[in-house]
C-alpha cells in the first residue's frame, strides 16, 4: 500500500531504470495504485507468484494451459472499455482484460516459470511473441491462441478492416516504455470518455514520467487540469508546454497560461 505521491515516485523511479529491466507487472500495479490508494502492490505481486506456482509444466503450452484453460483468463468482449480491464489487479481478480493487460499478465507469469515472452505492440491488437521460437505468437485476448505471422496479419485485418498498412515490422517486440505508455493511453481514453478528469490528470502525470513521452503532452495535462478547475497548476503545465513548442503553438500556450492565472485573481 502506497500513498498517492509515493506511488507516483515509485513509478517514476521504475521508468528511470534501464528500459529492459523495467518489470511491467510492477509498473502496471503502481498505475493501479493511483486508482485505488488501498492497493497493496507487494501483495498483488505475491498473487502473481501464486499464479505461477500453478503452472505445472514450465513450457509455453503449460503456461497457456494454466492461464487460459485451467484458470480461464480471457478477453472481456462485453465490457471492453471498462476501466478495470486496464488495471492489472482487477484483471487477476476478474480473469478478464484487454489484449495488453492480459499480455502483461502472461509475460509476468511466464517470467516466473522460465517461459520468456515478449510484447508485440501491433496497432489495434496487442500480441505476444515466444522468445525461444520467434515464429510463434500468442493472442492473450483470444484464450492464448497460437498464431504465425499470417495469423497476426488476419488479426490486423479484423481490427483495421483491410491489410493496408500491415507489415511484419509491426510484429517487432515493443520496448517497455512503449508498453507502459500504451496502457496509460488506453486509460486516458477510457477516463475521458467517462468525463473523469481527475483520473486523466494522474494518468497524464504518469505518462510524462516516461522518458520517451513527447513533452508536448504537457498540453494534455494542462487541459485536464483546466477541466478540474486547478487553474494555477494548469498555467504551470501550459508554461511547460510552451518551453518545448515553437511559433504559434508556443504563443498559444503562453496565452493560455496567462488566462489561467487571470482566473486566480
C-alpha cell at 186: 488506453
The CA-based angle 10-11-17, given to 5 degrees, is 95
C-alpha cell at 130: 515466444
The verdict on residue 145 lying in a domain is yes
The verdict on residue 199 lying in a domain is no
DSSP string, 92-140: HHHSEE-HHHHHHHHHHHHHHHT--EEEE--TTS-EEEESSSTT-EEEG
| Domain shared by 106 and 166, yes or no | yes
CB atoms within 10 A of CB 107: 23
CB atoms within 10 A of CB 188: 22
Note the pTM of the prediction, 2 decimals: 0.94
132 half-sphere exposure, CB direction, 13 A CA radius: 9
Residue 84 pLDDT > 60: yes
Residue 229 pLDDT > 80: yes
| Domain shared by 150 and 247, yes or no | no
The pLDDT value given to residue 217? 94
The verdict on residue 33 lying in a domain is yes
Final residue belonging to a domain, choices 106, 140, 171: 171
The verdict on residue 203 lying in a domain is no
| Domain shared by 162 and 34, yes or no | yes
DSSP structure class, residue 86: G
The verdict on residue 19 lying in a domain is yes
| Domain shared by 126 and 221, yes or no | no
The pLDDT value given to residue 2? 54
Residue 120 pLDDT > 80: yes
Final residue belonging to a domain, choices 137, 171, 205: 171
Domain housing 238: 214-263
Share of the chain above pLDDT 70, in %: 98
Residue 165 pLDDT > 70: yes
Amino acid at each position: 500500500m502506497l500513498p498517492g505521491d509515493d506511488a507516483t515516485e515509485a513509478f517514476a523511479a521504475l521508468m528511470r531504470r534501464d528500459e529492459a529491466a523495467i518489470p511491467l507487472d510492477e509498473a502496471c500495479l503502481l498505475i493501479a495504485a493511483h486508482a485505488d490508494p488501498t492497493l497493496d502492490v507487494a501483495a498483488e505481486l505475491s498473487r502473481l507468484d501464486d499464479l505461477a506456482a500453478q503452472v505445472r509444466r514450465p513450457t509455453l503450452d503449460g503456461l497457456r494451459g494454466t492461464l487460459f484453460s485451467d484458470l480461464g483468463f480471457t478477453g472481456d468482449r462485453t465490457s471492453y472499455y471498462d476501466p478495470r480491464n486496464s488495471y492489472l489487479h482487477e484483471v487477476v481478480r476478474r480473469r478478464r482484460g484487454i489484449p495488453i493487460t492480459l499480455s502483461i499478465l502472461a509475460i509476468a507469469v511466464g517470467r516466473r516459470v522460465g517461459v520468456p515472452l515478449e510484447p508485440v505492440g501491433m496497432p489495434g491488437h496487442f500480441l505476444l511473441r515466444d522468445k525461444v521460437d520467434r515464429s510463434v505468437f500468442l493472442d492473450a485476448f483470444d484464450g492464448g491462441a497460437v498464431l504465425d505471422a499470417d495469423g497476426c496479419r488476419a488479426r490486423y485485418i479484423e481490427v483495421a478492416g483491410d491489410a493496408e498498412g500491415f507489415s511484419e515490422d509491426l510484429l517487432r517486440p515493443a520496448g517497455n516504455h512503449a508498453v507502459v505508455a500504451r496502457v496509460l493511453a488506453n486509460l486516458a481514453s477510457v477516463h475521458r470518455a467517462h468525463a473523469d478528469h481527475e483520473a486523466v490528470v494522474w494518468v497524464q502525470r504518469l505518462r510524462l514520467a516516461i522518458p520517451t513521452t513527447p513533452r508536448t503532452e504537457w498540453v494534455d495535462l494542462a487541459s485536464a487540469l483546466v477541466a478540474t478547475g486547478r487553474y494555477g497548476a494548469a498555467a504551470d503545465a501550459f508554461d511547460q508546454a510552451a518551453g518545448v513548442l515553437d511559433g504559434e503553438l508556443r504563443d498559444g500556450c503562453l496565452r493560455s497560461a496567462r488566462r489561467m492565472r487571470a482566473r486566480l485573481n
